[in-house]
């Protein structure tokens, strides 16, 4: 590598949200770069950045995320800092990322993907089938809400946000019988032994697009940083996300639209499953297909367009 490496005197600044999970992801990114280039931790600086989605008053409210700004809630301020040169790279949960990056930014480095599944969280129950009729379920995810109501329209779903500890306290206080969290987050926080989590098969709850994946964003033209990130990139994760995010882009997806999808590599092919749902769960449209791995983005785009045509006008804007 011909570029000067980060050092304690000139550290690489890693920008991230300030949540425990976001910091864990930034630390993983730092540790992977350090290992790849035999650098000390002092050659890096973690820079927590407060985003609109981290505003305590908003998160504590019952206002749906879609009314607060959608996916950009968790990324805009971090990307603004990257554009301004206040940080050198930005570390993101890929399921939070819009499908289009701001001008001047590049997102082409993905860490190895973690467990993609959702988990059912309850101190006394072990799965959705155990919920009695009329039970109150807490989630802020439109996707999980719609998927749950499509199977169990007899349940009551309420807004449920906050960190893991906050949600567990709400369950203990009887605010809801259960909630859902991503297995990847619990794994990265090393909390699987502390949280009553029961993994949900993807056949029963198709995950969010790019769930379990971490992306590292950089400035376009920053060749030194690109060289640092090159050994971190997991090709398989990138191939899977190319199909999933093309599916999302074709649907113009955001936090306002219940969309799920998962790509798997099987031999030399990518197998993609996708679904879109009415927000109240009253209708689910699903599709699946295969293509050579190099055609994954095309597969995702075509599948998204097919479902969009099948849904017709007003599908996502259905009033709940």
| Neighbouring C-alpha atoms within 13 Å toward the C-beta of 320 | 20
According to DSSP, residue 282 is labeled S
Q: How far apart are CA 282 and CA 266, in angstroms?
A: 32
Instruction: Label residues 154-190 b or e (16+ Cβ within 10 Å = b).
Output: ebebeebbbebeebbebbeeeebbbbbbbbbbbbbbe
Calculate the alpha carbon distances from 206 to 2, 213, 236, 284 in Å: 44, 15, 19, 12
Q: Which of 270, 275, 238 is nearest to 253 (CA)?
A: 275
96 is catalytic: yes
SS3 assignment, position 235:
helix
Q: How far apart are CA 304 and CA 250, in angstroms?
A: 5
Of the residues 96, 115, 118, 222, which is catalytic? Answer: 96
According to DSSP, residue 109 is labeled E
Q: How far apart are CA 241 and CA 8, in angstroms?
A: 34
SS3 assignment, position 220:
coil
Q: Looking at the annotation, which residues are catalytic?
A: 96
């Amino acid at each position: 590598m011909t570029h000067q490496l980060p050092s304690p005197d000139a550290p690489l600044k890693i920008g991230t949200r300030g949540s425990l999970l976001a910091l864990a992801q930034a630390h993983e990114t730092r540790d992977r770069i350090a290992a790849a280039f035999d650098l000390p931790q002092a050659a890096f600086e973690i820079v927590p950045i407060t985003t609109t989605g981290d505003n305590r008053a908003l998160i504590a409210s019952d206002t749906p995320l879609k009314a607060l700004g959608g996916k950009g809630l968790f990324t805009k301020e971090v990307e603004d800092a990257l554009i301004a040169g206040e940080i050198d790279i930005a570390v993101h949960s890929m399921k939070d990322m819009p499908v289009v990056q701001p001008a001047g930014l590049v997102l082409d480095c993905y860490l190895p993907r973690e467990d993609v599944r959702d988990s059912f969280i309850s101190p006394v129950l072990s799965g959705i089938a155990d919920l009695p009729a009329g039970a109150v379920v807490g989630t802020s995810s439109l996707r999980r809400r719609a998927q749950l109501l499509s199977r169990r329209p007899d349940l009551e779903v309420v807004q449920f946000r906050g960190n893991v500890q906050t949600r567990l306290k709400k369950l203990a206080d009887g605010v809801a019988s259960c909630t859902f969290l991503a297995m990847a987050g619990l794994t990265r926080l090393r909390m699987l032994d502390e949280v009553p989590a029961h993994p949900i098969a993807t056949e029963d709850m198709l995950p969010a697009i790019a769930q379990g994946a971490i992306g590292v964003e950089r400035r376009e033209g920053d060749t030194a940083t690109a060289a640092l990130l090159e050994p971190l990139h997991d090709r398989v994760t990138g191939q899977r996300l190319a199909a999933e995010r093309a599916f999302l882009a074709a649907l113009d997806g955001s936090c306002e639209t219940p969309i799920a999808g998962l790509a798997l590599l099987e031999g030399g092919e990518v197998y993609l499953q996708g679904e879109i749902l009415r927000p109240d769960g009253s209708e689910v449209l699903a599709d699946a297909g295969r293509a050579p791995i190099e055609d994954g983005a095309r597969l995702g785009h075509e599948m998204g367009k097919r479902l969009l045509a099948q849904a017709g006008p007003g599908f996502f804007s259905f009033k709940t």
